[in-house]
């Protein structure tokens, strides 16, 4: 099926769309997304001749398909549409379109996000379109199914160069854990400094890009853009990785993503938690702990530790029962500077890029601050 006319609405300062547009993005049930420091219209982009292929993934609120755009060269893409008959599915798709369009403007070419192209109306149905990243073929959950998951992940993230991934030394496991968490926090920093929380951080939503040796955060359907005030409601995310409070804390909304990130890290980096049964046992144990960080440290810090005491301390803070005590992405990224001189692990061979987090708290408290650059150099 071919769409030669695309309807991507103009995204204004209040992130609303013109009434004249025929797209379902016109009025996503009255939902608006406001950021006070966005005071210019974002340019409309028009795509031509979008061809939809077969579906290859399905979520609770949407279906993902292969797609191509015809032109001087055929561009391979990924398309997503709302699940039919699912309550609020079109609303979540509209929110995802707005957020992707915004980040396309403020962070073009980010190695932490999927390259968004626009919204194509094919057969009277809106489809979000991203350019396919040649190096991002699998998400983190795919690696969890592999018998040598950490070795494959270390190779694809640039921690090791050898094709033999059967065994990782303790030192390399420590480096992999740091690399993985650093990538996830860097992606979240980009969102948080622009007043957006993701609210559905899980292995399925992290693409591993072997070309950029980075993680790309996808699926913004549950994300929330805020300025002042907060409406507390149940989050349409994944319960398995959600914090105990289940809703974002109004005074520390970014803490929701931090808890989920720590849970993803535990499942990817600790062998006993990688299986579905092991992860469920972890969740049940954490629910009974007044101090999850102390409990984890007692279980894992020791001669056989494959993360390092500094990393366990950081993960423990991210899992604090009180969301206001989980600190911020800024503080957690700053912890990598302290770990950089630790004797327990060698620094990565290549310098990593990390967001400029100097104004994180002020950005979250007052959106009158200027946009921050996504990345600046800081060694891991």
Per DSSP, what are the bridge partners of residue 62? 82
Asked if the domains 2-131 and 138-377 are classified in one and the same CATH topology, the answer is: no
- Taking every pair of Cα atoms in the chain, the longest distance, rounded to a whole number of angstroms, is 66
Tokens of 258: 């931090």
Number of Cα atoms under 13 Å in the Cβ half of residue 159: 28
Contact 330, 372 (CB under 8 A): no
- Identify which of 40, 4, 64 has the alpha carbon closest to the alpha carbon of residue 207: 64
Mean pLDDT of the region 296-313: 83
Tell me what pLDDT residue 45 has.
Answer: 53
> If you average pLDDT over residues 303-310, what whole number do you get?
78
User: Whole-number mean pLDDT of the chain?
Assistant: 75
Cα separation, 275 vs 283, whole angstroms: 12
Indicate the domain borders of the chain: 2-131, 138-377
CA of 201: how far to CAs of 57, 198, 371, in Å?
Answer: 17, 7, 24
Q: What is the mean pLDDT of residues 88-103?
A: 88
Higher pLDDT, 241 or 6: 241
Backbone angles phi, psi at 140, to 5 degrees: -60, -30
At 225, the pLDDT band (50, 70, 90 cuts) reads confident
Buried b vs exposed e over 197-227: b needs ≥16 C-beta within 10 Å? bbbbbbbbbbbbbbebbbbbbbbbbbbbbbe
Q: What homologous superfamily is domain 2-131 in, according to CATH? A: Phosphorylase Kinase; domain 1 (3.30.200.20)
| Contact predicate 6/50, CB 8 Å | yes
More confident residue, 332 or 44: 332
Grade residue 161 by pLDDT with cuts at 50, 70 and 90.
confident
Q: Which of the residue ranges 192-196, 263-267, 374-378 would you say has the lowest mean pLDDT? A: 374-378
User: What digits encode the pLDDT tens for the residues 9-60?
Assistant: 333 223 322 222 223 222 222 223 333 233 223 443 556 688 899 998 888 8
In whole angstroms, what is the distance from residue 158 CA to residue 215 CA? 12
- 8 A C-beta contact, residue 95 and residue 104: no
Q: Which CATH entry fits the domain spanning 138-377: 1.10.510.10, 1.10.12.10, 2.30.30.90, 3.10.20.310?
A: 1.10.510.10
* Higher local confidence (pLDDT), 335 or 230: 335
What is the rounded average pLDDT of the residues 344-369? 34
As a whole number of angstroms, the distance between CA 163 and CA 93 comes to 39
pTM assigned to the model: 0.79
Can you tell me the mean pLDDT for 141-147? 90
Please determine, for residue 234, whether its predicted confidence score (pLDDT) is greater than 60: no
The whole-angstrom separation of Cα 42 and Cα 38 is: 9
Residue pair 359/372 in contact (Cβ under 8 Å)? The answer is yes
Look up residue 317 and give its two tokens.
């803070």
Sign, CA dihedral 269-115-121-99, equals positive
- Contacts made by residues 238-246, CB under 8 angstroms, sequence distance 24+: 238/200, 238/202, 240/202, 240/279, 240/280, 240/283, 241/200, 241/201, 241/202, 243/323, 244/287, 244/321, 245/323
Going by pLDDT thresholds of 50, 70 and 90, the confidence category of residue 236 is low
pLDDT at site 60: 82
Distance CA 176, CA 189 (A): 20
Q: Tokens 């699940």 identify what position?
A: 83
Taking residue 84's Cβ as centre, other Cβ atoms within 10 Å add up to 9
What sign results for the dihedral spanned by CA atoms 244, 249, 252, 255? positive
Q: Is 126 in a helix, a strand, or coil?
A: strand
- Percentage of the chain beyond pLDDT 70 is 71
């Amino acid at each position: 099926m071919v769409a030669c006319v695309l309807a991507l609405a103009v995204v204004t300062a209040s992130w609303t769309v013109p009434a004249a547009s025929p797209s379902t993005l016109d009025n996503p049930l009255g939902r608006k997304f406001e950021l006070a420091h966005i005071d210019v219209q974002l340019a409309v982009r028009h795509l031509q001749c979008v061809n939809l292929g077969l579906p290859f993934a399905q979520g609770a609120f949407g279906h993902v398909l292969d797609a191509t755009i015809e032109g001087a060269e055929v561009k391979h893409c990924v398309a997503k549409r709302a699940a039919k008959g699912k309550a609020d599915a079109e609303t979540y798709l509209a929110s995802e379109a707005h957020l992707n369009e915004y980040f396309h403007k403020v962070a073009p070419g980010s190695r932490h996000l999927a390259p968004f192209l626009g919204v194509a109306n094919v057969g009277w149905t809106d489809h979000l379109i991203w350019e396919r990243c040649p190096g991002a073929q699998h998400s983190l959950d795919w690696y969890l199914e592999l018998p040598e998951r950490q070795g494959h992940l270390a190779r694809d993230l640039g921690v090791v160069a050898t094709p033999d991934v059967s065994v990782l030394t303790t030192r390399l496991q420590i480096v992999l854990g740091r690399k993985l968490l650093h990538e996830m926090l860097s992606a979240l920093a980009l969102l948080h400094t622009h007043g957006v929380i993701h609210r559905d951080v899980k292995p399925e939503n992290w693409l591993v890009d072997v070309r950029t040796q980075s993680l790309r955060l996808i699926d913004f359907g549950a994300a929330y853009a805020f300025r002042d005030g907060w409406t507390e409601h149940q989050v349409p995310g994944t319960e398995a990785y959600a914090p105990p409070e289940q809703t974002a804390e109004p005074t520390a909304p970014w803490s929701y993503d931090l808890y989920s990130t720590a849970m993803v890290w535990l499942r990817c980096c600790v062998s006993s938690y990688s299986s579905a049964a092991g992860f469920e046992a972890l969740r049940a144990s954490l629910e009974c702990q007044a101090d999850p960080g102390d409990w984890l440290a007692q279980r894992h810090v020791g001669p056989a530790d494959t993360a390092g005491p500094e990393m366990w301390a950081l993960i423990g803070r991210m899992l604090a029962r009180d969301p206001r005590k989980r600190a911020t992405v800024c503080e957690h990224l700053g912890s990598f500077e302290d770990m950089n001189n630790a004797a327990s692990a060698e620094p990565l061979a290549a310098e990593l890029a990390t967001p400029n987090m100097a104004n994180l708290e002020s950005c979250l408290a007052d959106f009158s601050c200027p946009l921050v650059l996504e990345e600046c150099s800081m060694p891991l």
